[in-house]
Homo-oligomer: A and B are copies of this chain.
């Protein structure tokens, strides 16, 4: 059972609380500031890359390493210093980012030397737990399953807006990737177009499906399971592995074994196993060097275009910034300027390191 309570913040932003038991909240939805949000981001077309770039110039002033006594993602204790969340009974919270790169009310983009458009869409913050000192890895399996249901609810809800074409849940974790708030949380971006990376993925998946009648990632996973050399977790319904084409040394993918287009289409059994695959991966990461392991985690699913996507295969890709315990992998010339990743490490070797980390769920 998934309980959901929608609220409105005094500055107009929405807040949705989720839990396994009925939601109970004291008072109204809090907000660190009460002035109505003036977000009006716009898009500009990049003619040489053939892609949109989003501009939201007010973002420069966003929260940056607040003092430890103020955590905007913890439930409000002092009504004089409200945070983003209320006291009450709930487990996961989702609210509109105060500094969105994409906003539903975006309007009247400036005229520029390149084509422009309102940056319609939505940027949400997902608070994984009320406990500021927890982490996604530390959450109980049933809490991770709940989070996956929340992601499914958001993807379905945001995707039902006709101006939204793609919804991406992700988590940036660690100061190494620029994270300014350490309370466990992720984000969801709802785009008014399919962004370049998922668009490319979708195109490759579609070509393969049309040629073979099989989902591309499902076939890759069968090969990984058969070889076993890079498998971190193998359950009845879900799997975690270092992909044979890893671009980052410690890249890992987590997925259902059979193609499912999105979180909102997972059966309870598959979701439960996917939660085990995810938690196993996260515990192996943290166990590798016996310290919190930074990463970017993104969950790719089907575009939100109202069509069936039997070729799409929900999965997470983890991009960790380290290439060894004390060296970062900097993205530089060949990665950022050419788009060809050069990996110092063989995926099989990095998989072995992670396989050797023992974890207890």
User: Is A324 located at the chain interface by the 8 A CB criterion?
Assistant: yes
Could you tell me if A52 and B337 are in contact, using CB atoms closer than 8 angstroms? no
Could you tell me if A45 and B340 are in contact, using CB atoms closer than 8 angstroms? no
Could you tell me if A195 and B339 are in contact, using CB atoms closer than 8 angstroms? yes
User: Is A59 located at the chain interface by the 8 A CB criterion?
Assistant: yes
Smallest CB separation, A211 vs chain B (Å) = 12
User: Is A67 located at the chain interface by the 8 A CB criterion?
Assistant: no
Which B residues are in CB contact (< 8 Å) with A300?
Answer: 337
Given A323-B60, A344-B59, A197:B296 Cβ within 8 A: no
Question: Which residue among A59, A330, A342, A345 has the maximum number of chain B CB atoms within 10 Å of its CB?
Answer: A342
User: Is A209 located at the chain interface by the 8 A CB criterion?
Assistant: no
| Chain A 291-318 residues near chain B, CB threshold 8 A | 296, 298, 300, 317
Task: Count this chain's copies in the assembly.
Answer: 2
User: Is A53 located at the chain interface by the 8 A CB criterion?
Assistant: yes
Smallest CB separation, A30 vs chain B (Å) = 25
Could you tell me if A53 and B323 are in contact, using CB atoms closer than 8 angstroms? no
User: Is A1 located at the chain interface by the 8 A CB criterion?
Assistant: no
Which B residues are in CB contact (< 8 Å) with A332?
Answer: 170, 172, 177-178, 296
Could you tell me if B101 and A342 are in contact, using CB atoms closer than 8 angstroms? yes
Could you tell me if A204 and B48 are in contact, using CB atoms closer than 8 angstroms? yes
- Cα A337 to Cα B298 in complex, Å, equals 6
Which B residues are in CB contact (< 8 Å) with A296?
Answer: 332-333, 336-337
Could you tell me if B337 and A170 are in contact, using CB atoms closer than 8 angstroms? yes
Q: Which residue of B lies closest to A324 (CB)?
A: B60
Given A56-B344, A170-B333, A189-B338, A113:B227 Cβ within 8 A: yes
Could you tell me if A47 and B204 are in contact, using CB atoms closer than 8 angstroms? yes
A319-356, CB under 8 A of B: which get 1 and which 0? 10001100110111110111111111110010000000
User: Is A246 located at the chain interface by the 8 A CB criterion?
Assistant: yes
A interface residues, how many (CB within 8 angstroms): 79
- Cα A339 to Cα B205 in complex, Å, equals 18
What secondary structure prevails in chain A residues at the interface with B? mixed
Could you tell me if B328 and A178 are in contact, using CB atoms closer than 8 angstroms? yes
User: Is A161 located at the chain interface by the 8 A CB criterion?
Assistant: no
Given A60-B324, A328-B178, A333-B187, A245:B44 Cβ within 8 A: yes
Which B residues are in CB contact (< 8 Å) with A340?
Answer: 51-54, 189, 191, 195-196
Which B residues are in CB contact (< 8 Å) with A191?
Answer: 338, 340
A181-213, CB under 8 A of B: which get 1 and which 0? 000000101010001111111011100100000
Q: Which residue of B lies closest to A244 (CB)?
A: B113
A to B CB contacts below 8 Å, 29 in the list: A45-B245, A47-B204, A47-B245, A48-B200, A48-B205, A49-B204, A52-B340, A53-B340, A53-B341, A54-B340, A54-B342, A56-B344, A59-B342, A59-B344, A60-B345, A114-B220, A114-B245, A168-B334, A170-B334, A171-B333, A189-B334, A195-B339, A195-B340, A196-B338, A196-B340, A197-B337, A296-B332, A298-B333, A298-B338
User: Other than the known A60-B344, A166-B338, A195-B339, what 19 A-B pairs have Cβ atoms closer than 8 Å?
Assistant: A49-B200, A49-B204, A53-B247, A53-B342, A53-B343, A54-B334, A54-B343, A57-B344, A60-B324, A113-B220, A168-B333, A168-B337, A168-B338, A197-B338, A296-B332, A298-B337, A298-B338, A319-B336, A319-B337
